[in-house]
Amino acid sequence: MDVGFIGLGLMGRAMAANLLKTGHKVRVWNRSPGSADAMVKLGATRVATAADAFCGDAVVTMLANDEAVRATLIEGGLLASGRDTVHVNAATISAALAKELVALHEKAGIAYVAAPVFGRPDVAEAGKLNIVAAGAPQALARVQPLLDAMGQKTWPVGDDPVRANVVKIAGNFMIAAAIETMGEATALCRAYGVETADFLDILTSTLFASPVFKGYGAIISEKRYEPAGFPLPLGFKDVGLALKASEEAHVPMPFAGVLRDSFLDALAQGNPDKDWASVAEVAHRRAGLER
C-alpha cells in the first residue's frame, strides 16, 4: 500500500519501520525534520509537508498529545482536504478531541479509524503491539494489512472511533495504577527490611505474573528509568485524560485523582526525562526511604 506516516517519535519510527519491512511504500513527515533521517535510510520517502504525507491509500498519524494532533491535523488544514484516503490515528488523545475528530472527518468526507496501541518502543520495534481499533467496517478492512504489519493483534471495539480512544485511556489508567501499587507496596516492605527486588520477584512470579507487573516491576527493581520508554509527562497527561473523560461521562474515578497527585509530585522533583515507572519512587520518598 501507498502509506503516509506523520509523527516519528520513538513509537512512530518503530511502527513506520515495520510498514517498510512488510513491503509498504511509506512517505514520512515529522514536525522535527531530523527524525525522518532513520526512516529514509530504511527506504522511506521524505516529504516536505504534512499535506504531502496525508494522501495515498492510507495515512497513519502517531502524534504525542491533543496539542500536536490539533496543530498538525486541524490547524494545519489536513482535515479540510477531502482526500480519498483512510486516516488511521494511533495517538492517545482525549475523549473530547476524539469526538471532534469524528465530526471533522465526516464533514471532510475522509474515512477515519482510531487505532491507539498498547506497547512500549521495544514492543513496537518487534511488531508486537496490541492495537485497539474502531471505525467503519469498510475503512477498517482497508487498513487491516497496515495494522497487521505494526501489531500482533487488532482488537476491534465497534464503528465509533471514540470507543478505541476511551479503551486506551482506561488501559493506561490501569497501568499507572499498577505502577503506583508497586511503589506503595515496595515502600511498605522496605520499611520492614524486605528489599524491593525480592518482593517484586515473588509477586510478579506468582499472583501478578502479567506483562505489566513483570515488565514494570523489573524497571522499578533496577531503577531503570532512563532512557525513558514512556516519559513522566506523558503518563501525567494520560492520567489527566482519564479524569477529563470521567468528568464528561459523570463516572467517579477517585483513584485517578490519587494518581494525578503522585505524577505531579514526581514531576515536581525535576525529572521529566525519566520513565513514568519512576512514579513508584514517590511512595518511597514520602516514607523517608530514598533509594
Domains, the chain, ranges and CATH? 2-159 (3.40.50.720), 166-286 (1.10.1040.10)
How would you classify the pairing of strands 111-114 and 86-89? Answer: parallel
Query: And the C-alpha cell for 248?
Result: 464528561
Query: And the C-alpha cell for 174?
Result: 490501569
Under the banding of pLDDT at 50, 70 and 90, the label for residue 33 is confident
Query: Mean pLDDT, to the nearest integer, of 157-180?
Result: 98
Q: Smallest Cα–Cα separation from 94: which of 191, 19, 168, 39?
A: 168
Tell me what percent of the residues of the chain surpass a pLDDT of 70. 99
Q: Which pLDDT does position 32 carry in this prediction? A: 87
pLDDT at 152 over 80: yes
Q: Smallest Cα–Cα separation from 31: which of 56, 6, 10?
A: 6
Distance, in Å, from the CA atom of 241 to the CA atom of 281, rounded to the nearest integer, reads: 23
- The conformational region for residue 119 under phi > 0 = left, psi -120 to 50 = alpha, else beta, is left
Q: Which pLDDT does position 34 carry in this prediction? A: 86
Q: Smallest Cα–Cα separation from 280: which of 189, 211, 192, 205?
A: 189
pLDDT at 83 over 90: no
- Given a contact cutoff of 8 angstroms between Cβ atoms, the answer to whether 263 and 237 are in contact is no
* Residues 222-241 pLDDT 10s: 999 999 999 999 999 999 99
Distance, in Å, from the CA atom of 7 to the CA atom of 72, rounded to the nearest integer, reads: 10
Q: Which residues are catalytic?
A: 168
pLDDT at 27 over 90: yes
pLDDT at 137 over 70: yes
- Give the up-direction half-sphere exposure of residue 153: CA atoms within 13 A in the CB hemisphere: 5
Q: Is 2 helix (H, G, I), strand (E, B) or coil?
A: strand
* Residues 245-254 pLDDT 10s: 999 999 999 9
Q: Which pLDDT does position 291 carry in this prediction? A: 67
Q: Which helix (H) or strand (E) holds 278?
A: none
Query: Mean pLDDT, to the nearest integer, of 100-120?
Result: 97
Q: Smallest Cα–Cα separation from 167: which of 67, 256, 225, 98?
A: 98
Q: Which pLDDT does position 231 carry in this prediction? A: 95
- Looking at per-residue pLDDT, the higher value among 243 and 81 belongs to 243
- Given a contact cutoff of 8 angstroms between Cβ atoms, the answer to whether 172 and 92 are in contact is yes
Q: Which pLDDT does position 101 carry in this prediction? A: 98
SS3 content of the chain, % helix, strand, coil (to 5): 55, 15, 30
